[in-house]
Amino acid sequence: MIGQLGQVELARCLLCGRGGGHRSVLGGLLWRCESCAFSWTAAGSPPPEELYDESYFRGEGYEDYFLMGPRRFESGRRLRWLLSVARPSSLVEAGSAGGFFVEAARRAGIAAQGVEVSESAARFAVERLGVPVRVGCFEEVAPVRSVEAVCAFHVLEHVEEPREFLRAARDALVPGGWLALEVPNIGSAAARRLGDAWPHLQPRYHRWHFTPESLTRLVTDSGFEIVRQDTVFSRFYWQRWGRLANARVLLVADWVASGSPRVSHPRLGDAIRLVARYDEAGAVA
């Protein structure tokens, strides 16, 4: 990878391993591999401690991460989705932000803990919600062979090396453990319609840009077997969609392009969600 805060180009595509053959897309915001169509942000990123300060969580990057009502609403939806596939008795959430998913899991009787790179977000989780969240990079401080599930919601697109992150997730799991991921879907109906105006693009913060196909390939190449995968439109997580600045543009983009009012879709939603399983030997379960 060349440059920090300057132009970034991989010697080989992270996903398919092909050298060269990358082209600039979305007005130079991203590089895209011409072999497998995997995309990554062209500009470099500041170090995490500069990017993910309190202002990021207070609305600079997205809607305020510390709003009790909306964050508990979306955490409850994510937990119900996870429990519809798996019933872990313990889990760790990587990139747990303010700790709302950890809180929801613990209320459901799961021994849940979090790992968060931001000191301010981890402090909020511990002091305001009373849940265990450690400060650090997940790849460095993840537990070893101790949990039945690793969850990461809108985290994989931020990390330095996705394969290293998945290796750390693998190492944290007991035999037969579960991996639950959610990432933005650059192949979504809204992303295709809106281009660089798609609100979930976020090139300042997102290094990697996934489609259902590229996420599947990355996860299976890392030794997991996918159990369930689909996509959801942004409105799936809106508690009060009429108050959101991006509500109208996203509603028009996904509704028109997908031709459906439903909140989930096999491929066209704004976020890809996936549950996969891994066994101790590295063979799929």
**Domain limits at 259?**
47-278
- Do 2 and 88 fall into the same domain? no
Task: Assess whether pLDDT exceeds 50 at residue 3.
Answer: no
Write the pLDDT tens digit of every residue in 54-63: 777 776 656 6
User: Does any domain span residue 285?
Assistant: no
- Do 66 and 175 fall into the same domain? yes
User: Does any domain span residue 116?
Assistant: yes
Write the pLDDT tens digit of every residue in 206-225: 999 999 999 999 999 999 99
Q: How far apart are CA 172 and CA 127, in angstroms?
A: 26
pTM beyond cutoff 0.85: yes
- Do 246 and 140 fall into the same domain? yes
Q: How far apart are CA 273 and CA 151, in angstroms?
A: 11
- Do 107 and 37 fall into the same domain? no
User: Does any domain span residue 110?
Assistant: yes
Task: Assess whether pLDDT exceeds 70 at residue 30.
Answer: yes
Q: How does residue 102 score in pLDDT terms, banded at 50, 70 and 90?
A: very high
Q: Which helix (H) or strand (E) holds 216?
A: helix 212-221
Q: How far apart are CA 166 and CA 94, in angstroms?
A: 11
Q: How does residue 283 score in pLDDT terms, banded at 50, 70 and 90?
A: very low
Task: Assess whether pLDDT exceeds 60 at residue 284.
Answer: no
Write the pLDDT tens digit of every residue in 146-171: 999 999 999 999 999 999 999 999 99
DSSP code string of 162-190: HHHHHHHHHHHEEEEEEEEEEEEBTTSHH
Quote the number of domains for the chain.
2
- Do 157 and 61 fall into the same domain? yes
